[in-house]
Structure 1
Amino acid sequence: MQQIARSVAMAFNSLPRPHRVLLGSLTVLTLSVAVWRPYVYHPDATPVVKALDLHDNKPVHTLMPDASEPIDQTSADDVDVALPPDDTTTQDGSDETTSSNGVQDYVVSTGDTLSSILNQYGIDMGEISQLTSTDKDLENLKIGQQLSWTLTPDGNLQQLSWDVSRRETRVYDRTDNGFKRNVEVQQGEWVNRVIKGKVSGSFVASARAAGLSGNEVNDVVKALQWQMDFRKLKAGDEFSALISREQLDGKRGQSHLLGVRLKTGGKDYFAIRAADGKFYDQNGNGLAKGFLRFPTSRQFRVSSNFNPRRLNPVTGRIAPHRGVDFAMPQGTPVLSVGDGEVIVAKHDGAAGNYIAIRHGRTYTTRYMHLKKLLVKPGDKVKRGERIALSGNTGRSTGPHLHFEVWINQQAVNPLTAKLPRTEGLTGADRRTYLAQVREIRPQLVFN
Structure 2
Amino acid sequence: MQKQFKMFSLVFYYLCSFHRILLSTLMSVPLSISLAQSHLELTHHADLKVSPVHVQAHHLNAFLPKDSEPIDEGTLSLEEDVLKDEIDTDISNEISVHEHVVSKGDAFSTILHQYDVEQEDIRKLITVDTEMRNLHIGQKLAWVLNEDNKIEHLIWERSQSEKRYYDRTKEGFKVSILFRTGESYQKIMKVVVNGSFINSAKLSGLNSHEIRAVITSLQWQIDFRKLHDGDCFDILTMHATLNSVKQHSELLGVRFRNSSKDYYAIRASDGKFYDCNGSGLASGFMRFPTVRKYRVSSPFNPRRTNPVTGRIAPHKGVDFAVPIGTPVLSIGNGEVIVSTYSETAGNYIAIRHGRQYMTRYMHLKTLFVRKGQKVKRGESIALSGNTGRSTGPHIHFETWINNQAVNPMTARLPAMEKLTGKELRSYLRRVQKVLFQLHKE
TM-score with structure 1 setting the length: 0.79
Aligned to 1:268: 262
**Distance apart, 1:250 and its partner CA:** 4.0
Tell me how far apart the structure 1 counterparts of residues 162 and 388 of structure 2 sit (CA, whole Å).
Answer: 50
**Alignment of 1:414 onto 2:414:** no
**Alignment of 1:197 onto 2:191:** yes
What do the CA deviations read for 1:348-401 (whole angstroms, capped 9, x no partner)?
A: 221211110011111111111112211110111111111111122222222211
Tell me how far apart the structure 2 counterparts of residues 311 and 141 of structure 1 sit (CA, whole Å).
Answer: 35
- Tell which structure's C-alpha radius of gyration is larger: 1
Residues 138 and 208 (structure 1), Cα distance of their counterparts in 2 relative to 1, 3 Å cut: same
Equivalence map 1:153-164=2 (5 Å):
153-164=147-158
Q: Determine helix, strand or coil for the equivalent of 2:87.
A: coil
Aligned to 1:172: 166
Count the aligned residue pairs.
372
**Distance apart, 1:203 and its partner CA:** 1.8
Tell me how far apart the structure 2 counterparts of residues 314 and 363 of structure 1 sit (CA, whole Å).
Answer: 34
The answer to which of 272-281 and 124-133 deviates more is 124-133
Of 106, 110, 117, the residue aligned with 1:112 is 106
What do the CA deviations read for 1:137-172 (whole angstroms, capped 9, x no partner)?
A: 101111111111122312222232211122222222
Tell me how far apart the structure 1 counterparts of residues 235 and 216 of structure 2 sit (CA, whole Å).
Answer: 13
**Distance apart, 1:323 and its partner CA:** 1.2
**Distance apart, 1:432 and its partner CA:** 0.5
**Distance apart, 1:180 and its partner CA:** 2.3
Aligned to 2:348: 354
Aligned to 2:137: 143
**Distance apart, 1:318 and its partner CA:** 0.8
Amino acid in the other structure paired with 1:131: L
Equivalence map 1:173-188=2 (5 Å):
173-188=167-182
What do the CA deviations read for 1:81-100 (whole angstroms, capped 9, x no partner)?
A: 212348626xxxxx833445
Q: Determine helix, strand or coil for the equivalent of 1:155.
A: coil
Tell me how far apart the structure 1 counterparts of residues 262 and 337 of structure 2 sit (CA, whole Å).
Answer: 28
Verify the 8 A CA contact 2:339 2:367 in the aligned structure 1.
yes
Aligned to 1:79: 78
Verify the 8 A CA contact 2:290 2:328 in the aligned structure 1.
yes
Q: Determine helix, strand or coil for the equivalent of 2:419.
A: coil
**Distance apart, 1:325 and its partner CA:** 1.1
Aligned to 1:425: 419
Aligned to 2:322: 328
Tell me how far apart the structure 2 counterparts of residues 122 and 307 of structure 1 sit (CA, whole Å).
Answer: 9
Aligned to 1:366: 360
Amino acid in the other structure paired with 1:408: N
Aligned to 2:36: none
Q: Identical aligned pairs, as a percentage?
A: 54
Tell me how far apart the structure 1 counterparts of residues 85 and 174 of structure 2 sit (CA, whole Å).
Answer: 30
What do the CA deviations read for 1:108-161 (whole angstroms, capped 9, x no partner)?
A: 111110111001111122321222122111011111111111223122222322
Tell me how far apart the structure 2 counterparts of residues 86 and 314 of structure 1 sit (CA, whole Å).
Answer: 41
What do the CA deviations read for 1:201-235 (whole angstroms, capped 9, x no partner)?
A: 21222222222222212111111111111222222
What do the CA deviations read for 1:19-64 (whole angstroms, capped 9, x no partner)?
A: xxxxxxxxxxxxxxxxxxxxxxxxxxxxxxxxxxxxxxxxxxxxxx
- Aligned-CA RMSD value: 2.2
Tell me how far apart the structure 2 counterparts of residues 154 and 270 of structure 1 sit (CA, whole Å).
Answer: 40
Q: Determine helix, strand or coil for the equivalent of 2:337.
A: strand
TM-score with structure 2 setting the length: 0.80
Q: Which ranges of structure 2 fall in alignment gaps of 5 or more residues?
A: 1-69
Equivalence map 1:255-334=2 (5 Å):
255-312=249-306, 317-334=311-328
Amino acid in the other structure paired with 1:96: D
